[in-house]
Amino acid sequence: MIRHRFWNDLNKYKVILFMLAPAVLFYLLFAYIPMVGIILAFKHYDYAGGVFGSPWNGLDNIRFFFESGDAWRVTRNTALYNIAFIVVNNLLQMFAAIFLFEVGGKWFRKITQTVIFLPYFISWVVVGAIAYNLLNSDIGTVNVLLKSFGMEPVDIYNTPEYWPFILVFVSAWKMLGYGTVMYLAAITSIDTEMYEAAEIDGANIFQRMMRVTIPNLYPTIIILVLLAVGNIFRGDFGMFYNMVGNNGVLFSSTDVIDTFVFRSLITTNEIGMSAAAGVYQSILGFTTIMLVNYAVRKYDKDRALF
């Protein structure tokens, strides 16, 4: 009887299933089949053997990854950068949104929004060119300015200490417009009656901001931050790779899991270790997303991812 109903449904949905087929195949091929490739983390990959014919080597890849000291460095960098991005970007975006909402005429608001959204649209390659223009040791604008003030030029591309600040700044610069739009959308959906009521009670702009706008933004803030926290172990490869490239001098402060995995795969060809690091990243990521989802569920069931 149950079998019968299944075949009935299959017939009933055949067109829909057919329409879903491309997507199902795509994800099967490019997402689910690579999951089987996780076994590479436990193999010594050779080209003759391929994924399935290569000999097993147990936990060696994972042991090498951890014993080389790279594991700790890239994990720490990935997590710290993402935490800095989350905090700085969200604060700036929220500030910009509130500012745009409260201040200025329609024209000013439009132009500002257009201008701060612009960096989002250019590729990381172009951002890399801009960084080069600004930061180059001999001819970069920053050093030109320093020299014109009679100060010593700084060798930015050889000094790891500067890079956390540079990268946080660049991330904030590129994402400012995008996040501001999100927050602005949330602010405009706040009931205007609340502002009117506050005004009647004699609240000034600052009080309105603290008492009405920000508390009403809490749900948006929490969701945006929690979503970002779920991705805390995923580095923005485009950003790191175009800003830093394969500049080994800077790795102590710029190497993240994604750049490490890429380098081991393409540059140094250590496929087993690269796969091990990738699996390590996936597991870390999966665990944090699960924890985050659990936290969201506790806070507000409807907002949970699943």
The radius of gyration of the chain's CA atoms, rounded to the nearest angstrom, is 25
Q: Is 175 in the site for other proteins (CB under 8 A)?
A: no
Please report whether residue 7 would count as binding other proteins according to CB under 8 A. no
Residue listed under structure tokens 């500012």: 99
Q: Which of residues 202-221 bind other proteins (CB under 8 A)?
A: 220
The single residue listed with the structure tokens 């000291």 is: 69
- Cβ distance to other proteins smaller for residue 199 or 270: 270
Q: What is the DSSP letter of 268?
A: S
Nearer to other proteins, 2 or 200 (CB): 2
According to the binding rule CB under 8 A, does residue 187 interact with other proteins? no
Kindly tell me which residue out of 2, 4, 11, 15 binds other proteins, with binding defined by CB under 8 A.
15
- Interface with other proteins (CB under 8 A), residue from 77, 86, 90, 128: 128
Closest separation in Å from C-beta 199 to other proteins: 26
DSSP state of 300: -
Q: Which residues, numbered 65-104, are part of the site for other proteins (CB under 8 A)?
A: 92, 96
List the interface residues with other proteins, window 235-254 (CB under 8 A): 237-238, 242, 245
- Distance, CA of 187 to CA of 216 (rounded, Å): 8
Tokens of 232: 């805390």
Q: How many residues does the chain have?
A: 306
Query: Interface with other proteins by CB under 8 A: which range of 73-81, 159-167, 197-205, 278-286?
Result: 278-286
The vertex-86 CA angle with 297 and 264, nearest 5°, equals: 100
Should residue 222 be labelled a site residue for other proteins when binding is judged by CB under 8 A?
A: no
- Residues 25-64, interacting with other proteins (CB under 8 A): 26-27, 29-38, 40, 50-51
* Single residue of 23, 107, 202, 204 touching other proteins by CB under 8 A: 23
What residues numbered 152-171 form the site for other proteins, per CB under 8 A? none
- In whole angstroms, the minimum distance from the beta carbon of 204 to other proteins comes to 22
Task: Give whichever of 17 and 87 is closer to other proteins, judged by the CB atom.
Answer: 17
Choose the binding region for other proteins from 66-74, 80-88, 193-201, 270-278 (rule: CB under 8 A): 270-278
Contacts of 43 (CB under 8 A, 6+ apart): 51, 54, 55, 56, 57, 61, 272
- Pick between residue 39 and residue 194 the one whose CB is nearest to other proteins: 39
Burial 153-175 (b: 16+ CB within 10 A, else e): eeebbeeeebbeebbbebbbbbb
Q: DSSP assignment, residue 56?
A: B
Tokens at 245, concatenated = 């490239």
Task: Return the residue of 9, 46, 102, 201 that touches other proteins, per CB under 8 A.
Answer: 9
Nearest CA among 264, 272, 262, 276 for reference residue 55: 272
Where are the alpha helices (H) located in 189-231, listed in sequence order?
192-200, 205-208, 214-230
User: CA 173, CA 205: separation in Å to the nearest integer?
Assistant: 27
**Binder of other proteins out of 83, 91, 103, 144 (CB under 8 A):** 144
